[in-house]
Amino acid sequence: MCRRLTRRGARGEDAAVGYDAPVSRGSDESRHAILGVGLKLVSVICLAGMAACVKYLGSDVPAGQAVFFRGAISMLVIVAFAWCTEGLGVLKTRNWRAHASRSLAGSLSMFCWFISLTLIPLAQMTAISFTVPLFLTVLAMVVLHEQIHGYRWTALAIGFAGVLVIVGPGLVSGGGSAAGVGIALVAAVLAAFALMFLRRMSGEEHALTITFYFFLTSSALALVSLLIQPWPMPSREQWVLLGMTGGFGVAGQLTMTYCYRYAEASLVAPLDYVTMLVAIAIGYYVFGEVPGVSTWAGAPLVIVAGGIILWREYVKLRRIRSAGRLEP
């Protein structure tokens, strides 16, 4: 029987959300930080591996079928993980409306990411995914009426200039490349909506709860997609790749979530950009893809823009803490 842990889990999910857990001082704090960084790097590699599996499956396997296997395998693992750590009671919720909004936006975003992977190079799709913080900043201004200061306007200008550089050639060339770029941008906007909804609920719901209902929703939507596009019977190799898609996905999800238990978000969040290096390596060695000049030129601009937003948020958080208004 699994030994259940009594320590409270991290709140937040997906890519971008966590909290700074209290840790002991001195050497314990250093060890926890190293563990947090290690978990984040594992998460980056696993999620890149999942994307590579989806891309390798290509158009032979519908996106809905890949989404279903990722969601179904992830739900089984999360239920087992919850039972072994926090107890199944952690999956109960009364916040159905918030879960529905967050999960629907996140699930549609995943569908779009998976479709775009079959149409454009892995590195280009990864570079476009870095625009999510930019779209989130715009949504925070328009929907949440947050005040946007000069540094954010600067970051947005730099970031969206990078986007134009990345997507310009694809849109001009037309065909599948243009469709892939457009779908990837839609995925980024939907992911930003999902994170905006997550902001409102991450302090109220456990990370495992949020993740479970996200995968429950994505699996249900995937089954609905059967009405639009029937799923073919996978070959032996495709069965393996579908299983790896789910395995890599849930491993990346859990390690991402729990890395914030051991290290501050400000320390591990910049490691997301390691994804670009992993994507370039996988694209080159597995798919023979060499990023174009537009990707090499635009991706650094998007990364710099995201770094500016991340750094300013870190500075603001430190000021609040120093004023004694926020506990670690």
pLDDT at position 21 is: 41
Cα distance between residue 91 and residue 216, in whole Å: 12
Q: What is the reported pLDDT for 284?
A: 87
Give the residue among 116, 306, 303 at the shortest CA–CA distance from 195: 306
Cα separation, 188 vs 139, whole angstroms: 12
3-state secondary structure of 129: helix
Phi, psi of 120 (to 5 degrees): -130, 160
* DSSP 8-state class, residue 263: S
What's the pLDDT score for residue 35?
83
Burial 303-322 (b: 16+ CB within 10 A, else e): bebbbbbbeeebeeeeeeee
pLDDT of residue 266: 63
65's tokens = 């079928």
Question: So what's the pLDDT on residue 3?
Answer: 47
Q: Which two tokens stand for residue 85?
A: 């750590």
- Residue 211: name the closest of 186, 230, 194, 227 by CA: 194
CA distance linking residue 252 with residue 273, whole number of Å:
15
Backbone angles phi, psi at 15, to 5 degrees: -105, 10
CA 232 to chain CA centroid, Å, is: 28
- Per-residue confidence in pLDDT tens, the chain, 328 aa: 554 444 444 434 444 333 344 444 445 666 777 887 888 889 889 999 999 999 999 888 999 999 999 999 999 999 998 888 878 888 888 788 888 888 999 999 999 999 999 888 888 888 888 888 888 888 878 877 777 677 777 877 887 788 788 777 666 665 557 888 889 999 999 998 988 887 777 667 777 888 889 999 999 999 998 888 889 999 999 999 999 999 998 898 888 877 777 777 666 767 777 788 888 888 888 888 887 787 788 888 888 877 777 776 666 666 666 665 544 4
Q: Are 78 and 246 in contact (CB under 8 A)?
A: no
- Tell me the C-alpha distance between 126 and 279, whole Å: 7
The rounded distance, in Å, linking the Cα atoms of 19 and 141 is 23
The pTM is what? 0.80
Tokens 């300013």 found at: 312
